[in-house]
Amino acid sequence: MTLAGYADEQKEFQRLVRQIVNDRDTLAAAREVGSAGCYGDSWRGLAEETGLAGVAVAEEYGGAGLPAGMMFVIAEELGRGLFAGPYLASCVMASSLLQTYGAGPECSELLEAIASGAVTATLAWVENPASWLVSGEVATRAAPADADADADAGPPAGSPGGSGGHRLDGVKRLVVDGATADVVLVLAAKEDGDLGLFAVETSAASVTATATETLDLTLRLAELRFEGARATEIPLTTGVLDAVERTLDLARLAVAATQVGAARRCLELSVDYAKTRHQFDKPIGTFQAVKHMCADMAVAVESAWTSVAFAVRSLESEPERLRTLSPLVSAYVCDVYRAVTRDTVHVHGGIGFTWEHDAHLYFKHAQSTSALFGTPGEMREILADRVGLTGSFTPIGFGDSA
Rg (CA), the chain: 21
**66-91, pLDDT tens digit by residue?**
888 889 999 999 999 998 889 999 99
* pLDDT confidence tier of residue 16, bands split at 50, 70 and 90: confident
Examine the pLDDT at 343 and tell me if it is beyond 70: yes
C-beta of residue 171 within 8 angstroms of C-beta of residue 140:
yes
For residue 386, the model assigns a pLDDT of: 93
For residue 35, the model assigns a pLDDT of: 38
DSSP sequence for 41-79: HHHHHHHHHH-GGGTTS-GGGTS----THHHHHHHHHHH
Examine the pLDDT at 162 and tell me if it is beyond 50: no
C-beta of residue 339 within 8 angstroms of C-beta of residue 401:
yes
Instruction: Compute the average pLDDT of residues 261-274.
Output: 95
**227-253, pLDDT tens digit by residue?**
999 999 999 999 999 999 999 999 999
Examine the pLDDT at 381 and tell me if it is beyond 70: yes
Question: Which own/partner pairs from 309-316 qualify as long-range (CB within 8 Å, at least 24 positions apart)?
Answer: 309/5, 311/253, 311/256, 312/68, 312/69, 312/72, 312/253, 312/257, 313/69, 315/68, 315/69, 316/67, 316/68, 316/69
Distance CA 377, CA 245 (A): 18
Instruction: Compute the average pLDDT of residues 107-115.
Output: 94
Distance CA 69, CA 91 (A): 13
The C-alpha angle 87, 89, 90, rounded to 5 degrees, equals 65
Closest C-alpha among 175, 257, 215 to residue 367: 215
C-beta of residue 257 within 8 angstroms of C-beta of residue 372:
no
For residue 286, the model assigns a pLDDT of: 79
User: 124: part of which helix (H) or strand (E)?
Assistant: strand 121-124
Highest mean pLDDT among 55-64, 233-242, 280-289, 346-355: 233-242
Q: Under the phi-then-psi rule, with left for phi > 0, alpha for psi from -120 to 50, and beta for the rest, what region is 158?
A: left
* pLDDT confidence tier of residue 395, bands split at 50, 70 and 90: low
Residue 297's Cβ-side half-sphere holds a number of Cα atoms within 13 Å equal to 27
Q: Under the phi-then-psi rule, with left for phi > 0, alpha for psi from -120 to 50, and beta for the rest, what region is 180?
A: alpha
Instruction: Compute the average pLDDT of residues 256-267.
Output: 97
Angle between helices 69-80 and 8-23 (to 10 degrees): 30
Examine the pLDDT at 392 and tell me if it is beyond 90: no
Q: Domains, the chain, ranges and CATH?
A: 8-116 (1.10.540.10), 121-237 (2.40.110.10), 241-386 (1.20.140.10)
DSSP 185: E
Distance CA 4, CA 10 (A): 10
User: Which of residues 46 and 203 earns the better pLDDT score?
Assistant: 203
Q: 141 — phi, psi (to 5°)?
A: -115, 140
Distance CA 97, CA 104 (A): 13
Q: Which of helix, strand or coil describes residue 311?
A: helix
Least confident of 323-327, 345-349, 396-400: 396-400
Examine the pLDDT at 207 and tell me if it is beyond 90: yes
Burial 177-197 (b: 16+ CB within 10 A, else e): bbbbbbbbbbbbbbeeeebbb
Distance CA 165, CA 258 (A): 38
Examine the pLDDT at 152 and tell me if it is beyond 80: no
C-beta of residue 189 within 8 angstroms of C-beta of residue 140:
yes
* pLDDT confidence tier of residue 393, bands split at 50, 70 and 90: low
For residue 390, the model assigns a pLDDT of: 67
The C-alpha angle 95, 101, 104, rounded to 5 degrees, equals 90
Q: Which of helix, strand or coil describes residue 212?
A: strand
User: Which of residues 302 and 162 earns the better pLDDT score?
Assistant: 302
Which amino acid appears at position 369 of this protein? T
N-to-C CA span, the chain: 29
Verdict on whether the full-model pTM lies above 0.85? yes
For residue 149, the model assigns a pLDDT of: 52
Closest C-alpha among 399, 285, 280, 260 to residue 348: 285
Distance CA 72, CA 68 (A): 8
Give the list of residues 6+ apart from residue 316 with CB closer than 8 angstroms, or none: 67, 68, 69
For residue 39, the model assigns a pLDDT of: 54
User: 195: part of which helix (H) or strand (E)?
Assistant: strand 195-201
C-alpha distance from residue 321 to each of 133, 232, 257, 288 (Å)? 19, 32, 17, 41
